[in-house]
Structures are given as structure tokens and as C-alpha cells.
Amino acid sequence: MPTSESLAGSARQTKATLAQWQACRARSLQLALPLSDADATAQSMDDASPTKWHLAHTTWFFEEFVLSRFVEGYRRFDAAYAFLFNSYYDAVGPRHARSKRGLLTRPSLDEVYRYRAHVDEALAAALAGEMLCEQALELVTLGQHHEEQHQELLLTDILHLFSENPLRPAYVRQPRVSGALPIDTSLSWVNFPGGIKSVGHKGRGFAFDSETPAHDVLIRPFQLASRLVTNRDWLAFIDAKGYDEPGFWLSDGFARAQALRWRAPLYWEQRDGVWWQMSLAGMLPLELDAPVSHVSFFEADAFARFSQARLPTEFEWECAAADLPVVGNVLDFQRLRPMPAAKQAASTPSQMFGDVWEWTASPFMAYPRFRASEGAVGEYNGKFMNGQFVLRGGSCATPPGHVSATYRNFFYPHQRWQFAGVRLAKDLP
């Protein structure tokens, strides 16, 4: 029989889950606020999804995996939404084609908001009434972190959509200012010893299944650059004709760069000899000391070779970040773009969290003894462990509190529309 102490602990857990979940759901609405129904419906490419779909899909997650399975008497808002807003869960059933999400002119944005309100009311009541078992509470927490991932995707997808509009509209209007702290333009190298290191989630707080289980790896002594690669650094690569030099590139990357005529990072545009960059604040002059962003793994790897360096492995990155505070330039409506590095101690690499996701040299693969979660949610990460590379650290579009030193993001090596950048590494003798 549960004790009064355990019941009180369960009540505190449920109350905390409710507050965190409500804050997350409110942030999604805040992100969608500047958008019209047309903005929220359009889809600019197959990799991106409309804002309206993001808002509905994250709602469907709670309806499908929590309310319909753990709350007796719950009534689905619309049975057709299971087909429209399932993403990739084969175990749940068939779904609308990803490439055709932009054709969903109906339901309207207002109807999607009503759907969210319907689900939110039911789930809030279940949480407030302490009606959910531990398994259901864990799924609510997973759904919250899932929605935070989609909040970042919402922003990156809107940026891509607006970049395709000849008017280059701004998602938000904001002053173009750098960080309040003094900028550090110098680059030095921070040494890290080798040894057998424990990596992966250690069981404290939330983690996605792909961060587990914790295990030991052998790390050789290495160096990390003290800051991220900047736009100024990247201009040197462009001026050296780096996009046309096959010696810097992996074969698949060079073939893609030539076929698609890559000559600069995504969203860069040259006007009368001056570089500009599309941002969530519209077109802005290129900020030279800000981290380069929207580059593929292929470009990141080529730049590292050009720089006579390499990309770090994901475990080198994790070991370097393990004892650092998880603070940085993450989602903030006053910025919404990567910022120049601030001056700090030379013994610690800066910008490890926020600004841009950092490509690593590591393929996204299962850790030793990895086991996917049971049921349909086991499809969350496990089936994508093929052909993609790991990124670490978060970006200026990542919600606060979402990342950690063990968090593993992953994308295909050719993809560029995310806030992805570069930190260099070198071997030590």
C-alpha cells in the first residue's frame, strides 16, 4: 500500500508535470502568434512542415498516447485527425504523406486551435485530478519534450518558408544588436586529456532513449576550438574557392555541392559585393563575428579539412561539455539568431550550448545495449539510426531547458535548413 509520503511525492510530481506541460503548450501558441492562416498552412519543401501541422501533430501525440489510452471516457476531437497528424508511427496506423502536408488547407488554423484547447482541457483535468498513472505521466513528459523539438522545427521551417518569398518577410521585427558582453574574436585551442570516459545519460532527469544507456568510451587526447566557426572564417573558405576544391570534400558532398551549385551557406545572398543573410528578422547584413549557420555536415567537414583540423566526435564534445553549465543563446524572442562569442576564460570553450547545433563526426547509431521503448513510442528514435550524423549543444531556436550535455540531435549530412554550425577539433600527441 502506498504511504502518505509516496502519495505526497506523487502529487508533487503530478503538479510539477502539469506546470511544465502548460508552459510548453503556451510557448507553442506564442510562437504561432505572428503568423496568418496562410503562413501557417504553406510548406516550402518536403523536409519542412507547416506551422499548423506542428501545432496539430504535437496535440495528436497527447491525444493518441495519453488521453485515448489512460483517460476513461475521453472523446477524440475528430477521428480523421489520427490520419492527418500522425508523423511516422507505423504501429498507430496509416497517415497523410509528409510531402503533402502543405495541402491541408482544412482544418483551418482556428480549428487547430480549438483542437488544442479540447485536448489541453482534458489533459489538464486528468493531471489536476491526479488521474494518470506513472506510465502516463512519463508519456506526458515525453510529449512535452517532443513538442519542444517541434517548437524549434516550427521556427526553422518558417525561416525556410519566408526565405522562398521574394519579399523576404520577417517573422519578427527586432533591433539588430550583438550580445551585451564584450565580443571575443580570437580563436585558441583548449586541451582535453584522454582516458576512459563515461558517456550517455546517467539517470538524473529526463532523457530521450537514444541517450541511453550510459557506457564507457576510450577518448584520445584532443583539442577543441575555443569558439564556434564564424561567418568571417567562412568567407575565407569562400574566397579560397573552397566550394570548388575537391580535396576538401567527401565524394558525396562534393557531388551534391556541385550539382546544387552551393557557393555559400543557406540563406546567404550577395548584393553589390556585400553579403546578406536571411533571418527570422528578415534580410540582414551578414554579421561577421556571429557563428556560421545553416551549413550541412558535408560543408562542415570540408571547412574542417580546409582549416587543417577536423570535426569533434560526439563523445569528445560530450566530455568537454560535461561539467559546464547548460546556459547559452537559446530561444529568446529578443534575438532568434546566433550571436558572437563573449569573452570568457581561455581554459573553457565558449558557446557550447545555444547559438548553433554543432556537427560532429559521429554517425547517429545505437549505444551498446540500447533498447527502444516498448510500443509505438519505441519508433521515436530507434528506427532513424541509419545514415544520419549527430549534432550537439542546441541553437538559438532551442527552447530553454531542452538540451543537456548528453542530448543527441541528428540530421542527414546534406541538410542545411537547421541552425547548424561548426566547432573545430584537433588531435593531441
SS (H, E, C) the chain: CCCHHHHHHHHHHHHHHHHHHHHHHHHHHHHHCCCCHHHHHCCCCCCCCCHHHHHHHHHHHHHHHHHHHHCCCCCCCCCCHHHHHCCCCCCCCCCCCHHHHHHCCCCCHHHHHHHHHHHHHHHHHHHHCCCCCHHHHHHHHHHHHHHHHHHHHHHHHHHHHHHCCCCCCCCCCCCCCCCCCCECCCCCEEEECCEEEEECCCCCCCCCHHHCCCEEEEECCEEEECCCCEHHHHHHHHHCCHHHCHHHCCHHHHHHHHHCCCCCCCCEEEECCEEEEEECCEEEECCCCCECCCCCHHHHHHHHHHCCCECCCHHHHHHHHCCCCCCCECCCCCCCCCCCCECCCCCCCCCCCECCEEEEEEECCCCCCCCCCCCHHHHCCHHHCCCCEEEECCCCCCCCCCCCCCCCEEECCCCCCCCEECCCEEECC
Question: What's residue 5's pLDDT?
Answer: 38
Question: What's residue 185's pLDDT?
Answer: 81
Query: Residues 48, 83: one domain?
Result: yes
User: Is 382 inside a domain boundary?
Assistant: yes
Question: What's residue 429's pLDDT?
Answer: 81
Average pLDDT, the chain: 93
Query: Residues 403, 286: one domain?
Result: yes
User: Is 248 inside a domain boundary?
Assistant: yes
Query: Residues 230, 96: one domain?
Result: no
Question: What's residue 56's pLDDT?
Answer: 98
Query: Residues 16, 159: one domain?
Result: yes
Question: What's residue 15's pLDDT?
Answer: 86
Query: Residues 117, 253: one domain?
Result: no
Query: Residues 226, 366: one domain?
Result: yes
Residues in the chain with pLDDT values less than 70: 1-10, 175-182, 345, 375-376, 379
Question: What's residue 13's pLDDT?
Answer: 77
Domain end position, chosen among 128, 163, 198: 163
User: Is 179 inside a domain boundary?
Assistant: no
Number of domains in the chain: 2
> Could you report the per-residue pLDDT of 10-37, keeping only the tens digit for each?
677 788 899 999 999 999 999 999 999 9
User: Is 173 inside a domain boundary?
Assistant: no
User: Is 148 inside a domain boundary?
Assistant: yes
Query: Residues 157, 25: one domain?
Result: yes
Which structural domain range is residue 74 located in?
Answer: 4-163
Query: Residues 65, 115: one domain?
Result: yes
Query: Residues 391, 347: one domain?
Result: yes
Query: Residues 414, 369: one domain?
Result: yes
State the CATH number of the domain containing residue 10: 1.20.120
Q: Which residues contact 264 (CB under 8 A, 6 or more apart)?
A: 234, 238, 243, 270, 275
Question: What's residue 178's pLDDT?
Answer: 53
Query: Residues 411, 282: one domain?
Result: yes
Question: What's residue 2's pLDDT?
Answer: 36
Query: Residues 141, 194: one domain?
Result: no
User: Is 388 inside a domain boundary?
Assistant: yes
Question: What's residue 381's pLDDT?
Answer: 75
